[in-house]
Structure 1
């Protein structure tokens, strides 16, 4: 990953899938993989996402360098992978 923003986005998209599909071990494992990238490559020690439907975005709060920070991602973009999986589950086993 080139930036913490990219890593946060990748984590968020699969985090959404993993939360919506708790039985999906691959989604959980992939979310853990991106969480490890955030920790190991970017020094992120905590990360969480909140859906803000009023403003049409996800707010990802994270701690980096002892500082709490936030990044915002449009709902439509962040949920695209989950919506695709739900629309065509046979493609995603």
Structure 2
């Protein structure tokens, strides 16, 4: 992934799913992939997430500076919401 913004978006979206479904190995593996891309390709560290009623904020360090990205909660939560609404389509395959 070339864009840091796109990688952060995908990382956060799958983080929400993986955190809600700790036994879902596919979600955890996908999260680990994006986490590695952030750390290896984009040289991001010390990643923290904050949320209010409208937005998610991803705070991180890059090039020695603290930076912040924000994403609309409704866009980030859409994958998790879809899984919750139609769980039969998203079978959890634990290890």
- Does the pair score TM above 0.5? yes
Paired residue for 1:79?
77
Specify which structure has the bigger relative contact order, considering alpha-carbon pairs within 8 angstroms and separated by 6 or more residues: 2
**What displacement does 1:49 show?**
1.2
Name stretches of at least 5 consecutive residues in structure 1 with no aligned partner.
none
Shift >3 Å, 4+ stretches: none
* 3-state SS, counterpart of residue 10 of structure 1: helix
Paired residue for 1:24?
24
The two structures have a TM-score, normalised by structure 1, of 0.92
Paired residue for 1:45?
45
Cα distance in 2 for partners of 1:51, 1:63 equals 18
Name stretches of at least 5 consecutive residues in structure 2 with no aligned partner.
none
Correspondent of 2:55 among 48, 54, 57: 57
Aligned residues: 91
What does the per-residue CA deviation read over 1:31-83, in whole Å, with 9 as the maximum and x for residues that have no partner? 11100000111001221211111xx0000111111111100000100101110
* 3-state SS, counterpart of residue 16 of structure 2: helix
Correspondent of 2:68 among 56, 67, 70: 70
